[in-house]
A and B are shown apart, each in its own frame.
Chain A
Amino acid sequence: MTCCGQPEVTATSRHYVDRLFDPDPQKVLQGVIDMKNAVIGNNKQKANLIVLGAVPRLLYLLQQSSSSDMLRTECAVVLGSLAMGTENNIKSLVDCHIIPALLQGLLSPNVSFIEACLRCLRTVFISPVTPVQLLYSDLTVIPHFICLLSQSLHTQEYITQIFSHCCKTPDHQTVLFNHGAIQNIAPLLNSSSPKVRMQALKCFSVLAYENTQVSMTLVNVLVDGEPLTQVFVRMMQRDKPIEMQLTAAKCLTYMCRAGAIRTDDSSIVLKTLPCLVRMCSKDRLLEERVEGAETLAFLVEPDVDLQRIASVTDHLLAMLADYFKYPSSVSTIADIKRVSWAEITEHLIYAPSRLNNKSFSVQLDHDLKHAHELRQAAFRLYASLGSNDEDIRKKITETENMMDRIVSGLSESSIKVRLAAVRCLHSLSRSVQQLRTSFHDHAVWKPLMKLLQNAPDEVLIMASSTLCNLLLEFSPSKEPILESGVIELLCSLTQSDSPALRVNGIWALMNMAFQADQKVKMEIVRSLGTDHLFRLLSDPDPNVLMKTLGLLRNLLSTRPHIDQLMGSHGKQIMQAVTLILEGEHSIEVKDQTLCILANIADGNTAKELIMTNDDMLQKIKYYMGHSHVKLQLAATFCISNLIWNEEDGSQERQDKLREMGFVDILHKLSQATDPNLCDRAKTAMQQYLA
C-alpha cells in the first residue's frame, strides 16, 4: 500500500476511525459526517483512513439493518469520496468487497441511499483497475439497474455511466440488450439533464459497436415520436458540445457498419461523415482528434463513395498530416526545460525505464502517448481512405513526407503505430503506380522485411499481405526483396497456425513464382519442401488451397520448367491433381487444378504423364462435359495442348484421344453457345484437320 511507508498516520485520522465504533448511534452518525468533511479533496487523509481500516467498518455500518437510512447514506457518501482518490484507493475498496455490499444497498427503498450507493459504484466501475465482470456476475443486478432508471436524474446518470464503461464485449452488449436497456435508455436522450443525455448517448455508442442485433433494433426506436437516428443527427449539430457530436457520430457510424443504415443515407453522407471530419481538425482536443479519425476510418473502410467524399472534405488529407506534428517542437522544449537535455537523452538511450521516477517523465509520457495515438489514428484513416481509389492513394502519397512517415512508422516502438503504418502501406500497395514509383524510391521493402522478422501475428498478417503486393512481377522492389532471402521467411509463414498468415505466405510465394527464372522456382520448391507443399493442398482453408494451386501453376509454366518439375515431382503432382479433381471442391479450385493440368499438358515430356494415365483422361473428358463453362474451357484447353500438331508424337496422341471419343465431344463443344468455348473447341478440332 502506498502510504505504509509514510511516517505519520496522524492522530486525527485515528480519531475519525475510532468514532465509528462509538456505542451511541447518534455519535457514530456525527463521526461519519465529520469524516466525510475531512476527506473531501484530501488524498492523504483518504489513504490514511483506508490504512486504518475505516472501509470494513463503514461497510459494516452500511450493511447493518439496524443503521438508520441517514447513517447508511452517509457511509456510502464517504466510501464514494474515498473512491475518488487514487487507483490504489479503488483497489483497496474492491478488495474489501465493496461492490457486493453496495449492490445489496440498491435494494433499499430509500432513494437518497440508492443514489449514494450508485454514485460510489459509478466511481469504482469507471476506474480501469476494477474488473468489469463484477457487474455481470450476479444476474439480478442488471435488471435491477434498469428498474432504478426511473428513480431520479441521479440514478439515471450513474447507471448509464456505469453501463457505458462496463459494456466491453459482445456478451455484455447482449446482456444489456436482453434486459431492455435500449427501450429504457432511449427516453433519456431527451432528458432535462445534460449529463444524463450525454451518458445515455454514450451507452448507445458502446451498445451498437459491431453489434448487428442492437443496431438493427436502434433504427426502429422512437424517442418522443422521433426516430432515434434523427435524435443522433440533431445531437451532431455544430453548436452542440463536441463530446456529444462525436459520440452521436459514433452511434451512427456503428449502425451504418452493422448494415442498419445505408452508406448513402443522408444522415451518414451529409451529417456523420462531415461531423467526423470536423473532429479531425486542429481546433479539437488531441483525444477528440484521435477518436474522430479512428471512427471515420471505421466508417469509410468498406465504401469507396464515402472514401471519395471524405478525401475531399475540408482538406482532410492535409489535416491528417498535422497529426504527425505532435508534440510540436515548442511544447517539447517547454516540457524539457526543467531538466537538462543531456540527462534526458542519457536516460532515453541507456535506461528508458528509469525515467519513470523522474518528475518530468509524467508530462513526457503523456505527450508521447498522445503522439503515438495521433500517428496511429492518422495511419489508420489514410489506410481506409486509400483502400480502393487510385486517385486518393496518389493524393495520400503526395501529402508532405508521407512515405518517409510510413517508413519511420514501420519501425516505431509502439506496436499500435507499427500496425497502423503497415496497414496504410498495405492500402497504398494496391496501387500499381505507387509500387513502381514511391515504394521503390523510398525502399519501403527494407523496413517491411525488418518488421517481418519479429512481430506479433496482427502485424505479420498486414506486413506479409503488403509483401505479396510488393512481389508482384511489375514491382521494382521484387528483385531486392528476393535477394534479401525472403523465401525462407515466407515458407516459415506457410507453416503458421494462423490461416491468414499461411495464405499470405503462399500468396507471396505464388506472386514470386510468376514468370520467375528457374533458379527462383527451384529455390521455392526446395525451401518449401514437396511434402509441405502437398500438405498445403489439403489445407482446411480454401484460400490456402487456391493460392497453393496458383503457386503450382506458376511453377509449371514455360516448357523447360514444366518438364523439369514434372520430371522430379511428377508422380506426387499427378496424385495431388487426381485427389482434388475427385474431391468436393469449389468451381474455382477445380478450375485452377484443370489449368495446372493444361500446363502439364504443355510440357514436352510431361505430356506423357497424362497420356499414360487413362483415369486422368477420363476425368478430363468428364469436365469437358461439365455444366460449368469455366471447367469445360479449362479441360478443352488441356486436350488442345495434348493434341497440338507441331510436337513430337502428336499423331499418336491424336489417335488415342480420337479412340476415346474426344473428337465427338470437341465437335459438340464447337456448337456451344459460349463463344470462348466454341473457339477453343474449333481450334482443337483444326489440329486433327491439319
Chain B
Amino acid sequence: MAFALGAGSPLLGDPALNYQEHELNERLKRLYPAVNEEETPLPRSWSPKDKYSYIGLSQNNLRVHYKGHGKNHKDAASVRATHPIPAACGIYYFEVKIVSKGRDGYMGIGLSAQGVNMNRLPGWDKHSYGYHGDDGHSFCSSGTGQPYGPTFTTGDVIGCCVNLINNTCFYTKNGHSLGVAFTDLPPNLYPTVGLQTPGEIVDANFGQQPFVFDIEDYMSEWRAKIHSMIARFPIGERLGEWQAVLQNMVSSYLVHHGYCATATAFARATETIIQEDPNSIKNRQRIQKLVLAGRVGEAIDATQQLYPGLLEHNPNLLFMLKCRQFVEMVNGTDSEVRCFSVRSPKSQDSYPGSPSPSPRHGANNPHLHSTGADSPTCSNGVTPPNKTKTHSKYPSISSASSSSSSSPSSVNYSESNSTDSTKSQPHSGTSNQETRCVTICRLTRPSTWCVSTACHFTTVKLSVPCVFCSDSEMEIEAEHYSNGVAENSSSRIMNGTYKHQEILQVDDNSLVESCASKQFCGGNQAATERMIQFGRELQALNEQLCRQYGKNTMHKKMLQDAFSLLAYSDPWDCPMGQQLDPMQRESICSALNSAILESQNLPKQPPLMLALGQATECVQLMARVRSGSCSFARVDNFLH
C-alpha cells in the first residue's frame, strides 16, 4: 500500500505547488486547531467570484492587481477571500505584501462582511474595515479615516490580525504590531483588499508562507490568559461538594474499567463508597481480560455463565463477539483453536496481559475524524473497526504495543510487561523488511503520505533516530494514525495502574505459545477445520438474525471482512489484515463491558468520560455561537 502511494499518486503533479499546499495545511492546522473546516472552511485565497471587475487575480488567486482606470475613488475595487474567518480560530491572522504601490499607492487592507459593495476600498462602508497605505489612516465603516499608523508602500508587509475573543483587530507592518485599530467587530468578516490606481499589485499570505510577524507568540499570550481564567474560575462555597464530585468521578472510572484493586484503594483513601459489588467488578475485569487477550470464546462463555440472558437480549453484541471470535481463531489466539495446540494453557485462571490495556475512547462522530479533532467522545464506545488504516499495525512492531501511544512511558510499560512484546512479535518476523521499505518510501515522498491521510487522522510523530540501521537495531519511526491525542493521553494515564495488576498474572506459557508461528489458527490442521466450522455457524447465526430482525448491513460487512481474511495466504499482510491487530479487541471489549454494566443498572459510560465528552461538545458549541475563546479552551489542553 505504501508503495502504491509513493508510485502513482496524482498529487505529485507539481512538486512545488504540492509542497506549498502541504505547508499551508500544516500551518493552518497548527494555528487554528479548533477549526472544523467541514463546517467553517478557512480562507486560503482570494475569491474569483467575490470581486469587482477592476481586480485581476493570478498566482493561485493569491496575487491581486488593479486593472481599472484609476481616475478617482469611483474606480476603487476590492476582493474578498473565499471564506469568512471562523470564530473558532480564536485569533486569526493574514499578511499582504505590497509588490508594487502602482501610481498612487491607494491600497486598503482589511475586513468586510459578505455583500459589502466591492466598488469601494475596505473601510468606507458599513461592516467594512481598512488600513490605507497612502495616509496610514484606519477606516472604520466610514469615508473619513482616523490617524492610525505609518504609511506603507512597495516592499512592505502588512499583517491584519483579528482577535475573535474580544472582537478587535490590529495591524502589523514588517513584523511590528501597530496597535488596536478596530473594536467591536461583527462576526463573519472576510479578509479583504482594495486597490484604486493602475500598477498596484499585492500578494496575500493566508499561511502559505511563514508570517513576518510572530503571531504564534501573540496566540500563546491569549492561550495563557484563557487558561489562567479557567484555572482561576471561582467555585466558591461549593469547594467540598466539588471535591466529592471529583472523587466520585475518579472512583466510578476505575470501577467501570474494572480496576478493582485500585478502585478499592482509592475508596479507602478518600473514604468513599463503591456502589458496585467487588465481585461483580472482578467478573467484569475477567471478561474484559479474556476479550483483550483474544480469547473471545471463553469470554462469551463467562458472560453467559455470569450474566445469563445478557447476550440473548443483545443479539447484535453476540454477533459482534462471535465475529471477533472468528478473527481470533484466524489469529490463533481463541481458545477453541488453542486447545488443539500441543502447548495448552496451564491454568484457566491466567490471563495474558492485554496488548493495549487501557480503554480506548473511540470517537463515534465521523467528522471528528476527518478534521483531526482529537478529543475523546464517549457517548459511544465502539470504534468502527475499519477506521484505522492498515499502517496502524506497523507501530505494533515496536516494543510499545499500545501503538497509539507515543510517550516514553508506554514503552516502559511494555518492557515491564513481557507478554506485550511477545504478543506483537508475530508481526515482526515478516514485517521488518517491509517496514523499512515503507520508511524509505515515506521519507522520499513525505508530502504524498501526509496529504492522503491528513484529512482523516491526526498524525503523531515519533522521532526517526536511524532509518537504515540493521534490522535488529532498527528503531521504529512511524507516524501513527490513531484516533487522536486524547487516546494517547488516557492510555498513558492508565498505564501505571494497569501494569501493576497485570505483571502479577503473566502466564509464561502463553508467552511461548503466542510466538509459535504466524499461520492460520496457529498452523494446526484441526484448529483450521474447527475455524471453518465456526465460520459456518457464524454464517448461520447471521441468517437467523436476518430472518428475525431484518437485514443488517453492518453485520454483513463484519462478516465479509472477517471471512475475507481467509482469501489471503498471509492474512497479517493483506488489506484486511488490520482486523487481526490486538488493538481491534478494545472496541468490542468496551461494548461488552458497557452492556454488562447496563444490565446491572449501572451507567454504561463512566461519568468522567461523559463529562469530558460534554466539555468537548461545549467547546464545539462555543465555536458555533462564535465565541473565539473556544480556540484556547480545548479539552485536550487539559489532559496530560
Contacts and interface: CB of A to CB of B under 8 A. Distances in A.
A312 B175 contact: no
Contacts of B224: 238-239
B175 A314 contact: no
A238 B176 contact: no
Contacts of B184: none
Residue of A237, A238, A315 most packed against chain B (CB within 10 A): A238
Interface string A256-281: 00000000000000100010000000
A274 B177 contact: yes
B220 A314 contact: no
Contacts of B175: 270
Contact of A237 (B170, B173, B176, B220): B220
A312 B221 CA distance: 21
Contacts of A239: 220-221, 223-224
A313 B217 contact: no
Contacts of A238: 217-218, 220-221, 224
Contact of B217 (A237, A309, A312, A315): A237
B218 A314 contact: no
Interface residues of B, number: 17
Contact of A312 (B150, B170, B180): B150
Contacts of A314: 170, 177-179
Contacts of B122: none
A312 B179 CA distance: 8
Contacts of A270: 175-176, 214
A319 B224 CA distance: 24
Contacts of A319: 179
Interface string B151-181: 0000000000000000000100101111110
A314 B217 CA distance: 16
A577 to B, nearest CB: 51
A238 B220 CA distance: 6
Residue of A239, A274, A313, A319 most packed against chain B (CB within 10 A): A239
Nearest to B228: A239
B149 interface: yes
Nearest to A313: B176
A313 B150 CA distance: 10
A393 to B, nearest CB: 15
Nearest to A316: B179
Contacts of B218: 238
Contacts of B217: 237-238
A319 B179 CA distance: 10
Contacts of A312: 149-150, 173, 176, 178
A238 B222 CA distance: 9
Nearest to A391: B150
Interface in A218-241: 237-239
A306 to B, nearest CB: 11
A238 B213 CA distance: 13
A315 B217 CA distance: 19
A383 B140 CA distance: 32
Nearest to B214: A270
Interface string A232-256: 0000011100000000000000000
Contacts of B223: 239
Nearest to A271: B214
Interface in B121-169: 149-150
A394 B150 CA distance: 14
A309 B220 CA distance: 23
A237 B223 CA distance: 12
Interface in A296-312: 309, 312
Contacts of A313: 176-179
Nearest to A241: B224
A623 B335 CA distance: 116
Interface in B174-225: 175-180, 214, 217-218, 220-221, 223-224
B213 to A, nearest CB: 9
Contacts of B221: 238-239
Interface string A313-337: 1110001000000000000000000
Nearest to B174: A309
A239 B223 CA distance: 8
A274 B218 CA distance: 11
A580 to B, nearest CB: 49
Interface string B410-450: 00000000000000000000000000000000000000000
Nearest to B223: A239
Residue of B149, B150, B176 most packed against chain A (CB within 10 A): B176
Contacts of B214: 270
A238 B180 CA distance: 17
Contacts of B150: 312
Interface in A583-625: none
A274 B179 CA distance: 11
A315 B224 CA distance: 24
B146 to A, nearest CB: 12
Contacts of B173: 312
Contacts of A315: 178-180
11 contacts: A237-B220, A270-B175, A270-B176, A309-B176, A312-B176, A312-B178, A313-B176, A313-B179, A314-B179, A315-B180, A319-B179
Given A238-B221, A312-B150, 17 more contacts: A238-B217, A238-B218, A238-B220, A239-B220, A239-B221, A239-B223, A274-B176, A274-B177, A312-B149, A312-B173, A312-B178, A313-B176, A313-B178, A313-B179, A314-B177, A314-B179, A319-B179
The 10 closest A-B pairs by CB, nearest first: A238-B221, A315-B179, A239-B224, A239-B220, A314-B179, A312-B150, A238-B217, A313-B176, A314-B177, A270-B175
Interface of A: 237-239, 270, 274, 309, 312-315, 319
